[in-house]
Structure 1
């Protein structure tokens, strides 16, 4: 067993966060599909039913957060959008 550990940088943390956000989005999509297939929410009421509206809003929010974290995981983008005070070198 070696004594050195791999360090986790900003890119890995941001990609992990993006993966988590996309996982949440996929889970919410499956929940929406179950609500529609179960008959709880008719397909025409996706934006008028309270249950479905909460799920759709969660999907949109998780998608926006996931895309933002993914975009910030690239060093070129972080140079233009500093995410921490010590990023500016």
Structure 2
């Protein structure tokens, strides 16, 4: 059986806030999703943002991978046939 708590709504700046009991185990700064369904309010922890993968621990285990030099990072522009976009031919000179 679940516990029942009373909470108080109060004004915080231009918003309303709900003071929740410490017994719920929530931590300061947690983000919550609040949903209203037929006059009842439900809240649950919001999904966490995806974390970035830290590869620093495995960098040395792949000696064949080396950082690119500045020269290797510069790529030449490949030629593009821009005239194909507007349907004109490269032989037709337009003013």
TM-score (normalizing by structure 1): 0.26
* Higher strand fraction (1 or 2): 2
* Higher helix fraction (1 or 2): 1
Greater relative CO, 1 or 2 (CA 8 Å, sep 6+) = 1
